[in-house]
Structure 1
Amino acid sequence: MSTKKIGISSIAIMMSLFGITGHAQEGKVDVGKNEYLNSCAVCHGEEGKGNGPLAGIIETRVPDLTTLAQENDNVFPMARVYEVIEGTADVQAHGSREMPVWGQRYGIEAAADYYDFEYDSESVIRARILAVAEYIYRLQAEE
């Protein structure tokens, strides 16, 4: 792949991740929060407490994401959170995997969004998952 194609692909990916569509943005864009609200809040709630609109119809209890560090000796389990979001972690609480496999969905979305030029699908998926995981880190409750 040529350097030019890589550069153009990288710029387009970043523009889509940050919501830049050719016009100036007011203020800063919180990519992690946007991803979380679009992908996770429906079950986990806007504040991450496990009380989203769909939480009541899911058979298993939706986890409170604000206590992950507390439940892990005050260390945020970043690798575990990443794997759960990506879909590679075995999640007993989800039983039959009620939680969507976001890594797979992000890959499908990238293929649709970037079908007309070369891009690195894995980079797009990682960036989106890391943005969500970092936002969940920011939701951690203070002791």
Structure 2
Amino acid sequence: MSNKQAMVLALLALVSGVVEAQQKSIDLGRQEYVTHCASCHGDDGRGVGAKAAGLSVKPANLRVLSRNNGGSFPLIRVLETIDGRLEVLAHGPRDMPVWGTRFTHELAPAAGNDPLRTEGAVRERIIGLADYLYTLQD
């Protein structure tokens, strides 16, 4: 096998690994969305979940995040909103769960209460959720 062929095979393996990791993240995000978000934002992300009618502020239509941001998915804003660093005025006081904190409490025991391992697991869930939201864009 020539060096060029070996490089092409290595590149294909790398791309395949990246695609597989991306799909795993999206699958994790879909699971997180169904578990934690769909009741308010709806199964399809349009803001009409089962609990939406009982809320004083209508949940956001998560399918138009890119459109409302000039065609670019606002990844950092999405991550900061999910983990609680970016306060969403429509949510009012932080009675709405701050997912970073909630995920930390859920995941810490499995991570041996190690702060670095816990943070890594929390970030994985939040990034997966953001990856899934990206796939919902109209």
Provide TM-score, normalisation by structure 2. Answer: 0.75
Counterpart AA for 2:52: A
CA distance in 2, matches of 1:85, 1:70: 19
CA offsets 1:1-51 (integer angstroms, 9 cap, x no match):
xxxxxxxxxxxxxxxxxxxxxxxxxxx781111111111111101110001
Alpha-carbon contact 2:111-2:117 (below 8 Å) kept: no
Matched pairs, number: 114
Find the residue that maps to 1:30 and give its secondary structure.
helix
Per-residue deviation at 1:111?
1.9
Q: In the alignment, is residue 103 of structure 1 matched against residue 100 of structure 2?
A: yes
> Greater share of helix residues, 1 or 2?
2
Residue in 2 that maps onto 1:81: 78
**AA of the residue aligned to 1:42:** S
Q: Describe the superposition over 1:109-137 as per-residue Cα deviations: whole angstroms up to 9, x where unpaired.
A: 01233448897111001000000011001
* Structure 2 unmatched ranges of 5 or more: 1-23
Identity %, equivalent residues: 40
Are the counterparts in 1 of residues 111 and 118 from structure 2 also a CA contact under 8 Å?
Answer: no
Instruction: Indicate whether 1:120 and 2:104 are aligned.
Output: no
List alignment gaps of at least 5 residues for structure 1.
1-27
Query: Is 2:51 the counterpart of 1:54?
Result: yes
Q: Do the aligned partners of 2:108 and 2:115 also contact (CA within 8 Å) in 1?
A: no
In structure 2, give the amino acid aligned to 1:33. R
**Secondary structure in structure 1 of the residue aligned to 2:108:** helix
In the alignment, does 2:88 pair up with 1:91? yes
Paired residues for 1:22-41 under 5 Å:
30-41=27-38
TM-score normalised per structure 1 = 0.73
